[in-house]
Chains A and B, each alone.
Chain A
């Protein structure tokens, strides 16, 4: 799975954007984030920024998954950016600080998923691990965009020095590489990009991580921020027993009560001990919320109540241990 987290959005009818997306699919990318950049004065109600990108902009590419991303250009340190409310409208929230003070602010306090520095220009300050490390420890990643360097030789020089400095300062951790390509001809295949990353000072493994697992972590973290309970517990659909089969399963579990019990004792840390993963997680969440544990809509599962409760408690303690 390869990710390109930065394709500037123009409009749905733009042939160049459609071609870029088709070309990225041909090159072997699986997930593409369409980016909407907001610069200048931010309106007082930031949540009011409309998402111009439709839910599924290119239905004729079934193999590619599309994300919607917003990039806020930070240029006023006095302004209060309420970025948390933006994440309701967008899949990924990124910021682009324009000076050192704003970079510090972005690293330490702003609620964003990605910091995207413009590396094709010269920066009058050094990147320091003290500042960038704070962002990395909060799970925020740094973005390097390569397409400007393909296009122009001056940008290439700046990118080489800036990317090397950024990689040195972050010790190769928390880097994400994306294209920011406005034309199809500025995109490059994933392994070509990894080779470019080796030129900047990342090794092969870290280069691959910067284009495969790193962006995935950004995507998942943004999703967890948006829809999970305090970014820790999320209800995952799937792995459940179909409704018609639930009755049978309930019967068999009653008859095999003893071995099941032993199993619950054995797998103490495993959250999916008894029943389906979905059920136990749901009970775990409701227990966490302080509500009553409401188990089993249908009467067939009632005999299981005690055991389920036990399992849910175990699952909860397991989660708490992770937390």
Chain B
């Protein structure tokens, strides 16, 4: 008996039209920093199940019944609306078909979106590590930019954007201003929550 080989696709969702949802939620906060311009939290109604049905319909329009039969058995292992990243599982033979279906998705919940596959791996652990690395890198980028903005004289408003990105979708709390130390705390939070999610599976 040969074991079934899987591929895990780590993807991030980019919103090329900018953060529409945050603008409607809190008009007072400024737009996020330059580097996070396209990385906004996903809409609240985008969950693992809705995402799976959107992907399935994309497979069906692009690859028809054959496509659904081949790679309809994928699973959304993890999706975080706050960072707009997620992990899909698919059998090894069909990952390119699923990937193409992801590429051909144009909008999510009525908002133009681009799904970018960041990493393909054979084990879910490696995909998780990459997700953590991505989040850390994003926080580092934003911090650097905030520091530059602060020294330049303009600050304050950008902070809110950072907090919005990383706390907005998780528990539904409104965006709050956080200190640098608390941001470090949040890195740990992201790591922890991912592990919890995987334990659920």
Chain A residues close to B by CB (< 8 Å): 19, 22-23, 26-27, 150-151, 153, 156, 183-185, 187-189, 191-192, 195-196, 198-199
Whether B17 is near chain A, meaning CB under 8 Å from some CB there, is yes
User: Across the interface, do A192 and B117 meet the contact criterion of CB distance under 8 Å?
Assistant: yes
Interface class of chain A by DSSP: helix
CB nearest to A199 among chain B residues: B100
29 A-B pairs whose Cβ atoms sit less than 8 Å apart in the complex: A19-B18, A22-B37, A22-B38, A23-B14, A23-B16, A26-B37, A27-B14, A27-B114, A150-B104, A150-B106, A153-B61, A156-B62, A183-B16, A184-B16, A185-B16, A185-B106, A185-B112, A185-B113, A185-B114, A187-B16, A188-B103, A188-B114, A189-B114, A192-B102, A192-B103, A192-B116, A192-B117, A195-B117, A196-B100
Distance (whole angstroms) from the CB of B198 to the closest CB of chain A:
25
Complex CA gap A191/B117 in Å reads: 8
Complex CA gap A153/B63 in Å reads: 12
Complex interface: chain A residues within 8 A of B116 (CB): 27, 188-189, 192
Complex interface: chain A residues within 8 A of B17 (CB): 19, 184-185
CB nearest to A160 among chain B residues: B62
Q: A23-B16, A185-B16 are in contact. List 6 more A-B contacts (CB 8 A).
A: A27-B14, A150-B104, A185-B17, A185-B112, A195-B117, A196-B103
CB nearest to B16 among chain A residues: A184
Interface class of chain B by DSSP: mixed
Distance (whole angstroms) from the CB of A145 to the closest CB of chain B:
15
Set A23, A153, A189, A195: member contacting B100, Cβ < 8 A: A195
Distance (whole angstroms) from the CB of A248 to the closest CB of chain B:
41
Complex interface: chain B residues within 8 A of A150 (CB): 103-104, 106
Complex CA gap A27/B38 in Å reads: 10
Complex interface: chain A residues within 8 A of B38 (CB): 22-23, 26
CB nearest to B111 among chain A residues: A185
Whether B99 is near chain A, meaning CB under 8 Å from some CB there, is yes
Complex interface: chain B residues within 8 A of A156 (CB): 62, 104
Distance (whole angstroms) from the CB of B155 to the closest CB of chain A:
19
Complex interface: chain B residues within 8 A of A19 (CB): 16-18
Whether B96 is near chain A, meaning CB under 8 Å from some CB there, is yes
**Which of A19, A26, A156, A196 lies at the interface centre, i.e. has the most chain B CB atoms within 10 A of its CB?**
A26
Complex CA gap A58/B106 in Å reads: 27
User: Across the interface, do B99 and A192 meet the contact criterion of CB distance under 8 Å?
Assistant: yes
Distance (whole angstroms) from the CB of B99 to the closest CB of chain A:
5
User: Across the interface, do A195 and B106 meet the contact criterion of CB distance under 8 Å?
Assistant: no
Complex interface: chain B residues within 8 A of A196 (CB): 100, 103
Q: Which of B16-30 contact A (CB under 8 A)?
A: 16-18
**Which of B61, B102, B116 lies at the interface centre, i.e. has the most chain A CB atoms within 10 A of its CB?**
B116
CB nearest to B63 among chain A residues: A199
Complex interface: chain B residues within 8 A of A27 (CB): 14, 114, 116
Complex interface: chain A residues within 8 A of B102 (CB): 192
